[in-house]
Amino acid sequence: MVQLVERLHRHFLDVLRTELRRVGNEEINAVQALLLFNIGQEDVVIRDLRDRGYYHGSNVSYNIKKLTELGYLTQERSPHDRRATRLSLTDKGFAISRVVGELQQVLVQNLKRHNVTDDSLRTAFGTLEHLERTWTDYIRYGPN
């Protein structure tokens, strides 16, 4: 299961890299595009991205710095907590976020053409959520 999850993630990054090239964007990588998508419409605090488990320490810091330098993100210090930096997408960032969202819709349609039903997708999603919860509980509470 672990190997499959890792492989699927790598394959999705490959698909995303291919899509970025198709739309003429070779300025950012697939991980950075996914980061933009996960920020989406919200203003997000960097710490929240890490806490959600999407990204790890220095990797997220590097990618945020790079995306800001390239004009995909803006950063603003929180007026209430000077340690917190809020991120929001620029128009350029929203354009990439839309590319990722549209790609996901195309991939879902491709699955449906191969007779993958909404019910089977919901079941797979539920199973993966249970797997995540099991691993998270193990980290927090041990092997009980």
- Is pLDDT above 90 for 29? yes
Considering the chain, what is the average pLDDT of its residues?
Answer: 90
- Residues making up the chain, counted from first to last: 144
pTM: 0.85
Q: What is the dihedral of CA 58, 87, 9, 110, to 10 degrees?
A: -170
**Residues 49 and 39: beta-carbon distance below 8 Å:** yes
- What fold characterizes domain 33-141? Arc Repressor Mutant, subunit A (1.10.10)
Say which range, 25-34, 78-87, 100-109, has the weakest mean pLDDT: 78-87
Which of these, 12, 66, 64, lies nearest to 39 by C-alpha position? Answer: 64
pLDDT tens profile 45-97: 877 777 666 666 568 888 999 999 999 999 988 777 777 888 999 999 999 99
